[in-house]
Amino acid sequence: MTSIDRRPRTAPRTALALLAASVPMFLATLDNLVITTALPVLRTELSATLEQLQWMINAYTLAFAALMIAAATLGDRWGRRRVFLTGITVFGLASIGSALATDPATLIAARAVQGAGAAAIMPLSLTLLAGSVPAARRAMAIGLWGAISGLGVALGPVIGGAVVDGISWQAIFWVNVPVAAVAVLLVRMVLPESYGRRQPLDVPGVLLAGSAVLATVWAITRGNDDGWTSTRVLGGLALGAALLAGFLVRETRATHPLVPLHLFRVRSFAAANGSAFLFSVGVFGLVFLLSQYLQIGQGYTPLQAGLRTLPWTAAPMLVAPVAGMLAPRLGVRPLLVTGLALQSIGLGWMGLLVGGATTYPQLVPGLVLAGVGMGLTFAPAATAVLADMAPDDHGTASSVNATLREIGGALGVAVLVAVFQAADGTLTPDGYAGGLRPAALVGAAVVALGALVALRVPRATGRLRPTTTGTEAPRPADVATPVGAA
Evaluate the CA torsion angle 421, 112, 155, 385 in order and state its sign. positive
Least confidently predicted of 6-10, 108-112, 270-274, 469-473: 469-473
pLDDT beyond 80 at 467: no
455 CB burial (10 A radius; 0-12, 13-18, 19+): middle
pLDDT band at 54 (very low <50, low <70, confident <90, very high): confident
Phi, psi of 350 (to 5 degrees): -65, -40
pLDDT beyond 90 at 448: yes
C-alpha 305/C-alpha 36 separation (Å) is 10
More confidently predicted of 349 and 384: 349
Most confident of 14-23, 44-53, 116-125, 174-183: 174-183
What integer pLDDT is reported at residue 95 of this predicted model? 95
What integer pLDDT is reported at residue 465 of this predicted model? 62
pTM across the whole model? 0.81
What integer pLDDT is reported at residue 255 of this predicted model? 85
What integer pLDDT is reported at residue 432 of this predicted model? 84
What integer pLDDT is reported at residue 468 of this predicted model? 46
Q: What is the mean pLDDT of the chain?
A: 83
What integer pLDDT is reported at residue 483 of this predicted model? 44
What integer pLDDT is reported at residue 101 of this predicted model? 93
Q: Measure CA 95 to chain center.
A: 19
pLDDT band at 454 (very low <50, low <70, confident <90, very high): very high
Phi, psi of 392 (to 5 degrees): -65, -20
pLDDT tens per residue across span 354-411: 877 788 899 999 999 998 998 888 778 877 887 787 776 777 787 888 888 888 888 8
Alpha carbons within 13 A on the beta-carbon side of 418? 23
What integer pLDDT is reported at residue 362 of this predicted model? 92
pLDDT beyond 80 at 443: yes
SS (H, E, C) the chain: CCCCCCCCCCHHHHHHHHHHHHHHHHHHHHHHHCCHHHHHHHHHHCCCCHHHHHHHHHHHHHHHHHHHHHHHHHHHHHCHHHHHHHHHHHHHHHHHHHHHCCCHHHHHHHHHHHHHHHHHHHHHHHHHHHCCCCHHHHHHHHHHHHHHHHHHHHHHHHHHHHHHHHCCCCHHHHCHHHHHHHHHHHHHHHCCCCCCCCCCCCHHHHHHHHHHHHHHHHHHHHHHHHCCCCHHHHHHHHHHHHHHHHHHHHHHHCCCCCCCHHHHHCHHHHHHHHHHHHHHHHHHHHHHHHHHHHHHCCCCCHHHHHHHCHHHHCHHHHHHHHHHHHHHHHCHHHHHHHHHHHHHHHHHHHHHHCCCCCCHHHHHHHHHHHHHHHHHHHHHHHHHHHHCCCHHHHHHHHHHHHHHHHHHHHHHHHHHHHHHHHCCCCCCHHHHHHHHHHHHHHHHHHHHHHHHHHCCCCCCCCCCEECCCCCEECCCCCCCCCCCCC
pLDDT beyond 70 at 178: yes
pLDDT beyond 50 at 6: no
Give 9's contacts (C-beta < 8 A, 6+ positions apart).
134
pLDDT beyond 60 at 470: no
Least confidently predicted of 213-217, 235-239, 438-442, 473-477: 473-477
Least confidently predicted of 163-172, 174-183, 436-445: 163-172
pLDDT tens per residue across span 59-101: 898 888 888 888 888 888 888 899 999 999 999 999 999 999 9
pLDDT beyond 60 at 1: no
Most confident of 119-128, 161-170, 234-243: 234-243
Whether 177 contacts 53, CB under 8 Å: no
Whether 379 contacts 316, CB under 8 Å: no
C-alpha 333/C-alpha 76 separation (Å) is 33
pLDDT band at 474 (very low <50, low <70, confident <90, very high): very low
Whether 336 contacts 394, CB under 8 Å: no
Q: Measure CA 34 to chain center.
A: 13
pLDDT band at 341 (very low <50, low <70, confident <90, very high): very high
C-alpha 486/C-alpha 411 separation (Å) is 12
Least confidently predicted of 119-133, 137-151, 256-270, 337-351: 137-151
What integer pLDDT is reported at residue 84 of this predicted model? 93
pLDDT tens per residue across span 231-279: 888 998 999 999 999 999 998 988 888 888 888 998 989 999 999 999 9
Q: Which domains does the chain have, with CATH numbers?
A: 1-198 (1.20.1250.20), 203-255 (no CATH), 263-486 (1.20.1250.20)
**Averaged pLDDT, 51-63:** 86
When computed from its CA atoms, the radius of gyration of the chain, rounded to whole angstroms, is 21
Do the bridges between strand 472-473 and strand 465-466 make them parallel or antiparallel, or are there none, so unpaired?
antiparallel
Whether 162 contacts 150, CB under 8 Å: no
What integer pLDDT is reported at residue 139 of this predicted model? 59
Evaluate the CA torsion angle 243, 485, 261, 250 in order and state its sign. positive
Alpha carbons within 13 A on the beta-carbon side of 243? 19
- Measured CA to CA in angstroms, residue 156 lies from 33, 355, 484 at distances of 5, 26, 11
**Averaged pLDDT, 217-233:** 84
Least confidently predicted of 217-221, 234-238, 334-338, 451-455: 217-221
